[in-house]
Amino acid sequence: MYQTNCYIVMDRETGEGYIIDPGGNYRGILNAAREEGLKCLGILCTHGHMDHVGAVGKVAEATGAPVYVSDEDSGILEGTGRGLEGRLGSLVVSRPGGVELIKEGDTLRLGENTIKVLRTPGHTRGSLSFLCGEYLFCGDFIFQGSVGRTDLKGGSMKQLLEAVKKEVWVLPPETRILPGHGPETCVADEKATNPYLRSLGSN
């Protein structure tokens, strides 16, 4: 319903990988994972809004994989909705059994590579992004030509802009940004054209 992007990132040699933001359509997600031969090491949640975690429990149960989320946004997975409210903070989620809390600077193994956890608040207090090589999976942090809403509980445009400058503007310009909704973009394009980020400059 919300047209949320769900991603599978995996190492082709080992078949190991992660599912990022299983918001809904758990059957479609699991079918895609099976077709790719995914050995799921974990389910990564960029933030705790229902449209990004709605199917997380069912996907976790089917794969046997732990769920990784920030402490600030973990409440929705515990059935409390702590720090979240409104329609996107709804408790209509399938709750997982094993939840692992992750934070800025943590890394996750992916074959010979790693996934680095970045703290990117602004859309929610606990929003995270995941950097894997030249790919940045950022949830509702940055979109092509836009940014995530900051008018919901826990949102802050000031924090969002500070996080963009600290975590994204320092990345190589060719870094591909894979958002939670809409098409992919890259750092260079957002520096040049995103009107919401113009105040940060291009350096």
Above 60 in pLDDT, residue 89?
no
Interhelix angle 26-36/56-63, nearest 10 degrees: 30
pLDDT in tens, 100-142: 999 999 999 999 999 999 999 999 999 999 999 999 999 999 9
Distance between CA atoms of 16 and 132, rounded to whole angstroms? 14
Residue type, 142: I
The topology (CATH level 3) of 7-200 is Metallo-beta-lactamase; Chain A (3.60.15)
* Measured distance CA(58)–CA(74) in Å, rounded: 17
- Rounded Cα distance between 144 and 147, Å, is 8
Complete edge-to-edge strand list for the sheet that includes strand 67-69: 7-10, 16-20, 39-44, 67-69, 99-101
CB distance 17 to 31 below 8 Å: no
List the domain boundaries for the chain: 7-200
Q: Give pLDDT, residue 85.
A: 52
Residue 107's DSSP bridge partners are: 116
Whether the per-residue pLDDT at 91 is higher than 50: the answer is no
pLDDT digits (tens, 9 = 90+) for 156-173: 999 999 999 999 999 999
At which residue do the structure tokens 């990004």 appear? 52
pLDDT band of 81, cuts 50, 70, 90: low
Distance between CA atoms of 182 and 3, rounded to whole angstroms? Answer: 8
Q: What are phi and psi of 3, to 5 degrees?
A: 50, 50
Question: In 3-state terms, the chain is what percent helix, strand and coil (to 5)?
Answer: 25, 25, 45
Closest CA to 140 of 23, 17, 58, 18: 23
Question: Structure tokens of 42?
Answer: 């974990």
Residue 6 has which token pair?
A: 């769900």
- What pLDDT score was predicted for residue 24? 86
The tokens for 160 are: 């969002």
Rounded to 5 degrees, φ, ψ at 31 are -65, -45
Instruction: Output the pLDDT for position 166.
Output: 97
Q: Torsions phi, psi of 133, nearest 5? A: 60, -120
Residue matched to tokens 């515990």: 78
